[in-house]
Structure 1
Amino acid sequence: MQSHSEFLAPPPGCPAHNSGKSVPLHGPEFAADPNGFYNYLRQFGPAAPVELTPGVEASLITDYAAALHVLQNPDTFARDARRWRALNEGRIPDDSPVLPMMMYRPNPMFSDGADHLRLRQAVTASLARIDTHRLSRHVDRVGSYLIDQFSGRGRADLVADYAQLLPLLVFNDLFGCPAEIGDRLIFGFSGIFDGVDAEKANEVLSESLFELVALKRAQPGDDVTSWLMQHEAGLNDEEMIHQLVLLIGAGTEPTQNIISSTLRLLLSEDKRGDGMLVEDAINDVLWNGPPIANYAVHYPVFDVDLSGSRLDAGNPVLISFAAANSDPGLSASRQTLSKRAHLAWGAGPHACPAKDPALLISVLAVEKLLNTLPDIELGVPAGSLTWRPGPFHRALNALPSRFTPVRHERRESAPLPTSGRNAGNTPVRDQPQRAQKGNFWSGFLSWWKV
């Protein structure tokens, strides 16, 4: 093993130049060059010390084989955040921005043993009942609606105007949300993802989910929410809320990022015209820029030596799906590995249960846009695009595009919601952009009925 004096220098802009301590994953430097950070972190061994936000430290697994070992050994590496030592000792502030992503919730992501099995069975059985033909039709309808909002302009931000909204609207249908609840869910989830008025967004989200659960208790329907309630696991209202947070929140954010990153790849100058299939482009994204880059928080049940890296009991251990996928040790064998050997969906008992609908939504959303606007191209050089800071995701800030405007008659009888942008397609920063987007679900329902 190398000594610390033999390590490569930290990447440019990394505060580790000055501190020599845990490497921060929360600044713009990491968002701009994550691979440079991963290359540096690999020299600590399979696990490296990182800082997720000021004052919150963890170990990050960057080695593919080590990541699989952790993911596939739940008896040694538990998921229940009530084991988090620093949190139990009061060293994590209540307002820490990473706490909502790491705190214990009674759902499969944060449970172990019999509790995990019971909750996961309810989730997987409910997702298995999704009709893929119905899902495909709804993605097509939502795609048409969103494109209809900007196709006459000849330009759009494919993140804010398309990729962020499409999964949310599709999930509203899957979970049986009426317009008045669906609008508030869109506002709540969007506000939490973007950090825009997050406290208010979280309050609205919680109230909306309680209302949805109460509605489905009284009036069950042909939707995932009702199927969860009907499962033999007998979920109570609190458990229902946390299953919905997991399925809707964790289902929409990765799908948004897959769609936008795939469009970025396909619309880049070096990829245009080479005949790359949408499925191959998505697979490229899942290998080289997974939408959730670092997550799957584990807590060693006891002190562990992981190939020379010490992992202390109760300290968070995260899997870097991005770093594991790009592990130099895989370079010789990656060509012979299955296309699905990447870790973007996790592995082991906690592997993502919703990958099939997420992939279907992503493929159909990208195809819908490219088929509807065949001459669409990036509005700026690909190299000038920027990424949202944060330790967990790999998400574009924006994806400007341009295309030949589509001249068509508006459906004047349908109330069209504002996108929160002005005529020049510049974000309106002095208005609550996501609140304005909160009427997209009712707007879509009105548009479709015309």
Structure 2
Amino acid sequence: MNAEPSDGQRLDPPNPSAGCPVRHAGAPTRLYAAETTVDPYGTYSRLRKQYGQVAPVLLEGDVPAWLVLGYRENRRVLDNPDQFSRDSRRWRDWQEGRIAETSPLIPMLGWRPDCLSQDGEPHQRLRTAVTESMRTVADRGIRRHVLHFAHQQIDAFADTGRADLVLQYAQYLPMLVLTRLFGLPESEGKGLVTSCAQMMKGGEDAIAHNDRIGRVLAELTSHKRAEPGPDFATGLIQHPACLDDDEVQNHLRLVLIAAHTTTSNLLARVLQMILSDDSHLAKVVSGQLTVSAIIEEMMWNSPPLAVLPGRFATADCELGGQHLKIGDLLILGLAAGNLDPEIRPHTGTTVQGNQAHLAFSSGPHECPGQAIGQTIIEAAVEVLLRRLPGLRLDADPTDLTDTASTWETRLDHLPVSFS
């Protein structure tokens, strides 16, 4: 992240609270502060009442950004890369030296030679390599890998009558499947889960864990250059787009982090919803309610990535009543947008059959691995319900707790018992 676009301009440092038609004045909210992460949905609601659909906030290191809260405003940003670029070399704070290489924001916002960090033709070239390589792996059968690792995970606690389905199932299962798809040793799974979690959490360890992920994937890239296999890494290496080693490694990183983080989080939420209501469990077991319908509801009400980083204004513009300057950073409030009262005045309204949620992003950078994530979750739930008769939640649903960061809200525990 050291070059800047040829058409980039350098203006004054971004000051989100300057010139904003706000209802109540005050310092921008620190999204990373403890009092904010305790109740992120309450924070989104408060910010919407105070500022409208776009609010000034501060990220770690008191880095200024705009949090997009409105559904329509999120769509406008996501669907218009010419106006809101994903290329962080346009980020004015970075251009002018206010973001250190050691900032915990770099793993999430820093520029890399991957399709997520670029727009236009470079983006299309790299995204095609990712989607076609992913499709090849998927066609070889993901479900059998899910079944193998699901049984393996369940075997470890099946005789005990009790388990924590977050710590002993949802947290690791998607990563184990990904190690197989990537051509990685299964033994790398646990360490990669820890590093992904710490990187998403932020803080002083984020850079170290990001570097660890990079080292593992650099070694994999080198190994697959020498010894190709029927895996995603080899697919990227051999794709006609001719990716170099940096591009291969960074796309492995992108898919690994995105796929594991979202799928493990969503799997935990789906299990929480099924087990927190006896009628839901009975309907799933009897076939009256499908897991895909539950996934869809979770995508609306509790998307696995609550806030998506980031976009950068390519020119001075207006968004949601706020005046943005060229180079300003925007972060996308996917959870807030899905609950926008302008499109969902009653949050209890059914969303079955409506896939217009923001959980997979939108526009040119929309998540290309949606089907793979859904396959993992559906197979994981199926095996669990079949293997564990009498499965029930071993806690009051209202006592279940979450841990939130700027970017996500994760379920802490899901204690269960079974026959």
TM-score, length basis structure 1: 0.81
Deviation at 1:357, TM superposition (A): 0.3
Letter in 2 for 1:285: M
What is the distance in 1 between the residues matched to 2:115 and 2:278?
Answer: 41
- Superposition RMSD on alpha carbons, in Å? 2.5
* 8 Å CA contact 1:181, 1:211 repeated in 2: no
Moved more, 393-402 or 168-177: 393-402
Structure 2 stretches of 5 or more lacking a match? 1-19, 284-288
Pairwise CA distance, 1:20: 2.3
Tell me the distance in 1 between the aligned counterparts of 2:94 and 2:26.
Answer: 24
The aligned amino acid for 1:102 is L
Match of 1:162 among 169, 180, 183: 169
State the Cα distance separating 1:92 from its structure 2 match: 2.6
Structure 2 SS opposite 1:297: strand
Counterparts of 2:374 and 2:358, CA distance in 1 = 14
**Structure 2 counterpart of 1:137, one-letter code:** R
The answer for the alignment partner of 2:243 in structure 1 is 235
Aligned to 1:347: 362
- How far residue 203 of structure 1 moved from its aligned partner, in angstroms, is 4.0
How far residue 4 of structure 1 moved from its aligned partner, in angstroms, is 4.5
For the residue of structure 1 that corresponds to 2:318, the secondary structure is: strand
> Does residue 229 of structure 2 align to residue 221 of structure 1?
yes
Cross-structure match for 2:9: none
* One-letter amino acid of the counterpart of residue 259, structure 1: L
Change in CA separation of 1:116 and 1:266 when aligned onto 2, cut-off 3 Å: same
Larger CA deviation: 177-186 vs 222-231: 177-186
Which one of the candidate residues 257, 260, 278 is aligned to 2:291? 278
Contact in 1 for aligned 2:308/2:332 (Cα 8 Å):
yes
Query: Measured at CA, do residues 348 and 39 of structure 1 come closer, stay the same or move farther in structure 2, by a change above 3 Å?
Result: same
Structure-2 separation of matches of 1:77 and 1:205: 29
Aligned amino acid, residue 30 of structure 2: P
* 1:301-347 Cα deviation digits (max 9, x unpaired): 01111242212211111111111111111126975885211110011
The structure 2 residue matched to 1:257, chosen from 260, 265, 269, is: 265
Whole-Å separation in 2 of the counterparts to 1:210 and 1:378: 41
Residue type of the alignment partner of 2:418: F
Q: Which moved more, 1:151-160 or 1:218-227?
A: 151-160
Distance 1:293 1:339 in 2: 19
1:299 CA displacement = 0.2
Map residues 165-204 of structure 1 onto 2, 5 A cutoff: 165-179=172-186, 185-186=192-193, 188-189=195-196, 192-193=199-200, 201-204=209-212
Q: Indicate yes or no: 2:33 matched with 1:20.
A: no
Indicate how the Cα distance of structure 1 residues 120 and 258 shifts in structure 2: closer, same or farther if over 3 A, else same.
same
Which one of 126, 134, 150 corresponds to residue 141 of structure 2?
134
Does the C-alpha gap of structure 1 residues 267 and 137 become closer, same or farther in structure 2, counting only changes over 3 Å?
A: same
Conserved? CA contact 1:213–1:225, under 8 Å: yes
Query: How many residues in Structure 1 have an aligned counterpart in Structure 2?
Result: 391
**Candidates 351, 354, 358, aligned match of 2:373:** 358
Q: Which runs of 5+ in 1 are unaligned?
A: 8-18, 405-450
Q: Which residue in 2 is equivalent to 1:206?
A: 214
Query: Which shows bigger deviation, 182-191 or 96-105?
Result: 182-191
Q: Secondary structure at the match of 1:233?
A: coil
Residue 47 in structure 1 maps to residue 62 in structure 2: no
SS of corresponding position for 1:330: coil
| AA at the equivalent of 1:143 | A
Residue 206 of structure 1 and its aligned partner are, at CA, apart by: 2.3
Moved more, 299-308 or 172-181: 172-181
Contact 1:26 1:389 in 2 (8 A): no
> d(CA) in 2 for partners of 1:343 and 1:151?
37
Q: Secondary structure at the match of 2:82?
A: coil
Percent same amino acid at aligned positions? 37
Tell me the CA shift for residue 150 of structure 1. Answer: 1.4
Distance 1:217 1:92 in 2: 35
